[in-house]
Structure 1
Amino acid sequence: MAVSADIINDVESRLNITVKRANPVSGGDINQSYRLQTTQGDYFIKINSLHKFPGMFKCEEQGLSAIRETNTIAVPEVVLQGDTQNESYLVLNYIEAGDSNTNSSQLLGLRLAQMHRSTAKQHGFYTDNYMGSLHQSNKRHDSWARFFFEERLQPMVKMAVDKKELTQNDARKFDELYKKLPGLFTEEPPTLLHGDLWSGNYLIDVEGKPYLIDPAVSSGNREFDIAMTTLFGGFDRAFYEAYNSEFPLQNGWQQRLKLWNLYPLLVHVNLFGGMYAKQVRDSLSVFI
């Protein structure tokens, strides 16, 4: 699918450039993504439905800004965000991807640890956003246990039960988990989280510099980000060693990976169903 004339005209007018070519690039299931070749260099543009995902790119812009303000790890620069009659778009500076190696993995771990030193007074964020294509509530709470259960697990469990992907008995087990949750970890000051930190949401440029992309930010327990890095792979030993050398994780963090990954697994249950419901039940059984 080509970039619509409305978007091309809007981008050209607002940036005072001419778009010479728009080449499709991989951008996931939600967005159409393109590399724009223009008279002022290359840009990356993401496009989706204005009505199906209202405000999604504004949320992404807010998340990238929050990460950038920590002055720790790089994120793409937001060049332009706009809407046409039926579509939304986000223009970012284009980053030429390179190959990951031990040095870039170490730098990614180091910079993420430094980002996690940016703390907030409460868990949550000043606005809601998206996790994938699903609404994500960021209502603020004083404890991670309450925030994680009420703003992360509960909405996803309810949705999964309504979709008949999970049962009422599954929901009761999550209620049991809530009672146990405060005793399963030690609270820390809430840190800025990327929120969707799987291997597809970071990139290494041609000079070996790591960037975070596609955030679903909030402030919370930093083990949540670390847990997500283990869910689908893509992070090597050098990453974890560098992270822990800069900002050591609390004892027992490995045993809590399945606890925090209940949330992204529930998101996958609601988006894709199938085998993810079994993974949720298996992970939940570790703690119930």
Structure 2
Amino acid sequence: MLNSILANYIKRRLNSDITDVKPVSGGSINRTYLIETLDHKYFIKLNNKTRYPEMFEAEARGLNLIAQTNTIKTPEIILQDSVGDESFFLLEWIKTRRPTAKASAKLGEQLAAMHRNFADKFGLDTDNYMGSLHQSNKKHNTWAEFFSEQRLQPMVKMAIDKGLLTTNDLVAFEHLYKKLPGLFDEELPTLIHGDLWGGNYIIDLDEQPYLIDPAVSYGNREFDLAMTTLFGGFSNEFYVAYNEAYPLIKGWQQRMDLWNLYPLLVHLNLFGAGYAGQVRDCLLQYV
């Protein structure tokens, strides 16, 4: 639960008494709660600022970048700060419902609109996190360079160092880096959510989609679409609406496993050797 120092700090910042605090589900990295005051409800995430330095600052920047596109909703940021070793992120509380066909189509249409926000290079001015792992966003002129050097190579090195991949796997990835520019057509760098699995969007009671927990950068929009296929949670209405609003380049379905190499490597490094076979299966399709 909230320690008394943190609770009193939040009370002062909100200028309202806290009437209840209840644990809620919110992932494996952070402790998450519903906070109730006399007239509002809030969602709070807590973690150790030494273990995950500037994690919530990066998340706040990502949510703000998405919100500034005026294409799709994100939760309102109320407070982001730290007290002692405790870092916290306080957001508006959103009552949710299961996705409907209408809401799924709206999510696809609005994501397509977000993907029409472009930059001149792939990457971002600041680094952030993918799950609990540091994510480098050094800028590059092409997606092939960025995806190889800022996404795959750090995760492959980590997996090799942990003994989760072999030197044969490393050789296969080296072949992929060389082949990558010929496996797809480059598009302009576009703002992507970066961690768009089924747990990172919500639908409110009015059937409005919200994006949460971003790992943003300017990248290839197919990367976001690929992640939607990895663990499920997205209906056919989502894909139809997206393609009607912003048609994907021909053959995009055949590249989903290519882009999903990155989140699978992240899972390999976070959760262990159980993901090694899936990484190899995806890799061998393209080398």
- Give the TM-score taking structure 1 as reference length: 0.99
Partner of 2:13: helix, strand, or coil? helix
Q: In the alignment, residue 4 of structure 2 is paired with which amino acid?
A: A
Determine the structure 2 residue equivalent to 1:173: 172
Determine the structure 1 residue equivalent to 2:188: 189
Question: Distance in 1 between the 2:5 and 2:244 partners?
Answer: 50
Question: Distance in 1 between the 2:5 and 2:133 partners?
Answer: 27
Q: Deviations 1:212-258 (Å, cap 9, x if unpaired)?
A: 00000000000000000000000010000000000000000000000
Tell me by how many angstroms 1:99 deviates: 2.0
- With 273-282 and 183-192 compared, the bigger mean Cα shift is at 273-282
Question: Distance in 2 between the 1:212 and 1:35 partners?
Answer: 19
Question: Distance in 2 between the 1:157 and 1:274 partners?
Answer: 13
- With 15-24 and 193-202 compared, the bigger mean Cα shift is at 15-24
Q: Deviations 1:127-171 (Å, cap 9, x if unpaired)?
A: 000000000000000100000000000000000000000011111
Tell me by how many angstroms 1:7 deviates: 1.5
Question: Distance in 2 between the 1:8 and 1:255 partners?
Answer: 50
Partner of 1:125: helix, strand, or coil? coil
Tell me by how many angstroms 1:17 deviates: 1.4
Determine the structure 1 residue equivalent to 2:208: 209
Determine the structure 1 residue equivalent to 2:41: 42
Q: How does 1:23-102 map to 2 (within 5 A)?
A: 23-102=22-101
Q: In the alignment, residue 219 of structure 1 is paired with which amino acid?
A: Y
- The number of equivalent residue pairs is 287
Q: How does 1:189-268 map to 2 (within 5 A)?
A: 189-268=188-267
Question: Distance in 2 between the 1:122 and 1:17 partners?
Answer: 44
Structure 1 residue runs of 5 or longer lacking an equivalent are: none
The ranges of structure 1 where at least 4 consecutive aligned residues each deviate by more than 4 angstroms after the TM superposition are: none
Percent identical among aligned pairs is 57
Determine the structure 2 residue equivalent to 1:115: 114
Partner of 1:34: helix, strand, or coil? strand
- Give the TM-score taking structure 2 as reference length: 0.99
Say what the alpha-carbon RMSD is for the aligned residues: 0.6
Partner of 1:142: helix, strand, or coil? coil
Question: Distance in 2 between the 1:7 and 1:191 partners?
Answer: 38
Question: Distance in 1 between the 2:240 and 2:2 partners?
Answer: 43
